[in-house]
Amino acid sequence: MSPSRQYDIAVIGAGHNSLVAAALLARSGKSVIVLERRSSVGGTAATEDILPGFRAPLCFSGMELFHPKLIQDLELEKHGLSLLPNRGGTCIVRSDGRWLDLGHSKGRNLGTLPAADRDALVEFERFMSRIAHALAPLQTAPLPELDADTFTGKLDFIKFAMRLRRLGSRDMGEALRFLPMPIRDVLDERFESEALKATIAAPALTASWLGPRSAGSAWGLMHHRPAWCESLFPTKRFAPGGPGALSAALAASAVAHGAKIRTEAPVRGIAIQDGRATGIVLEDGSVITSRMVVSGADPRSTLLDLAGAQWLEPETLRAVRNLRAHGSVAIVRFALTRRPRFHDAPDNDAHLAGTVQIGASLDYLERAYDCAKYGRAPEEPWLQITLPSIVDKGLAPPGKQAMHVWVQYAAGELRDTCWADERDRLIKTVTDLIDAHASGFAASVLHADALTPLDIEEGFGLTGGCLYHADMTLDQLLYMRPLPGWYRYRTPIGHLYLCGPGTHPGGGITGLPGKNAASQILKDWHRRGAWTRFVS
């Protein structure tokens, strides 16, 4: 193995969190190299051709959760990112065939809701907004140190306690009760309309291995409706070129600050000496030496496959092996001859500029989860449909459309079959389900492809096909994400850090795991020096 030049920091993977971390670290003056096995950057936040003239998001379709301060701090607009005006909220096709528009406040069509639900919705949005703003510091920075003996630890906890106190006893008590609850119980207490409850529940369950009745599923609503979203039903945010444009801008920002990015550079392992990471070994045998290694891969892959189990204490090894990471999502993408026409929906583009949900009751969502829970391929999944080409005209030829469908639930492991045999049936199931709600849809399909949990696992190296790298359950959140004691992005191997969604605050296109990891790395660098062995 022939060594190359030494860098301060080597980053594994060029997903959006890795790129955020690399850009921030390079901006601070560190020499940074990013190694990506695919031929392009972005990971799951990418845009791909699905047919000549048609382009569609790979996994995640919108970027409304991406933190706006990162756009400003990394000057992403200067580096090519151009966000399109917010368009469309969430529309749901109800079981009676009627259309319910839950877009931003000015565009809502709530007339079919009971009056009590309309009033309860205003109160619930107020409550959620207050809690989101109170919890924002827990998402946008590393968690306060648990060691309250330190001045910094005491100060962090005092600041957070003061923010909670401002909620008042009523909202604070309700928030403490709300967060560990099943989302079904939260919504049943407040609303009558099944369609409204299903629409609110959807983001709480997005990419999770939880159903509406699962304890802790209410936390997901807080995670996916943070303070920087303008409402409980935020409008979709697209960029010309799709999510790949965000990743390209992040890469350009990192390079502008001095980082080097190498694609088609698969990593074989992490070089470790005397219990600390000293660089990266590539598949071709070459070595990238560095003072620190930051992994955007999931925790299990990083520690077991890249670092090696021999560097972990038996108790730690057992915990890493038992870290839960379930695939729960499949993606189906369509090239269409025309815009779909959903029953009872307005015959215009505006209602399709956001998300269309098929799955109009909590029981429907629970049955979809049951199907996956018992290892069956999706039979009647709930769908979250976007047509980004409605807003971004460059994604499809004139008059035609590119459609992206998030299919849930899709188990990572099937019991009596395998995804290689189920891919075509998955496409047919989704096509038929949409056709039942939008007559003539099937006849408009020029092309369809599917990304199963197996494809996600193999294509991106994600254990189990889990887009969030680790399940977002009560025992794998906050100070326990990904494992108890790892909340500062460090691992038990010195100089080895994690920056992916398997770390706090979790999954989605927010950029915050990368931002927070970079912040912690710089603190450690300046406090102890890059040569010190860090053990959490």
Q: What domains lie within the chain, and their CATH numbers?
A: 3-49+63-82+242-323+469-528 (3.50.50.60)
Residues forming a β-bridge with 289: 6, 279
Strand boundaries in 340-477, DSSP class E: 355-358, 382-386, 401-408, 445-451
CA–chain centroid gap for 152, Å, is: 30
Percent of the chain exceeding pLDDT 90 equals 77
Any residues with CB less than 8 A from the CB of 513 and at least 6 apart, and which? Answer: 17, 499, 500, 501, 502, 503, 504, 505, 506
Task: Evaluate if residue 446 carries a pLDDT over 80.
Answer: yes
- Chain mean pLDDT for the chain: 91
Q: Which two tokens stand for residue 77?
A: 């607009």
Task: Evaluate if residue 63 carries a pLDDT over 70.
Answer: yes
More confident of the two residues 328 and 108: 328
Task: Evaluate if residue 36 carries a pLDDT over 80.
Answer: yes
Q: Mean pLDDT, to the nearest integer, of 177-196?
A: 94
CB 221 within 8 A of CB 241: no
Q: Are strands 287-295 and 329-336 parallel, antiparallel or unpaired?
A: unpaired
Residues forming a β-bridge with 6: 289
Task: Evaluate if residue 164 carries a pLDDT over 70.
Answer: no
Distance between CA 511 and CA 499 in Å, rounded? Answer: 10
CB 211 within 8 A of CB 217: yes
Percent of the chain exceeding pLDDT 70 equals 91
Q: Mean pLDDT, to the nearest integer, of 171-177?
A: 80
Q: Which two tokens stand for residue 159?
A: 């600041």
523-533 tens-digit pLDDT:
999 876 544 44
- Binning the chain into helix, strand and coil, the percentages to the nearest 5 are 40, 20, 45
Q: Are strands 3-12 and 287-295 parallel, antiparallel or unpaired?
A: parallel
CB 183 within 8 A of CB 205: yes
> Is-above-0.85 flag for pTM?
yes
390-437 tens-digit pLDDT:
999 999 999 999 999 999 999 999 999 999 999 999 999 999 999 999
Q: Mean pLDDT, to the nearest integer, of 471-500?
A: 95
Residues in the chain: 536
242-296 tens-digit pLDDT:
999 999 999 999 999 999 999 999 999 999 999 999 999 999 999 999 999 999 9
CB 447 within 8 A of CB 334: yes
Q: Mean pLDDT, to the nearest integer, of 68-96?
A: 88
Q: Which two tokens stand for residue 435?
A: 């056709």
Residues forming a β-bridge with 93: 99, 358
Distance between CA 166 and CA 172 in Å, rounded? Answer: 9
381-400 tens-digit pLDDT:
999 999 999 999 999 999 99
Output the pLDDT for position 160.
63
In 242-294, where does DSSP find H-type helix? Answer: 243-256
Output the pLDDT for position 153.
61
Output the pLDDT for position 149.
59
For the beta carbon of residue 159, count every other beta carbon within 10 angstroms: 11
Output the pLDDT for position 2.
46
291-334 tens-digit pLDDT:
999 999 999 999 999 999 999 999 999 999 999 999 999 999 99
Q: C-alpha distances in angstroms, 194 versus 93, 219, 353?
A: 11, 20, 23
Distance between CA 66 and CA 58 in Å, rounded? Answer: 17
Task: Evaluate if residue 115 carries a pLDDT over 80.
Answer: yes
Q: Mean pLDDT, to the nearest integer, of 363-377?
A: 97
pLDDT classification of 150: cutoffs 50, 70, 90 = low
CA–chain centroid gap for 282, Å, is: 27
267: helix, coil or strand?
strand
Distance between CA 162 and CA 527 in Å, rounded? Answer: 27
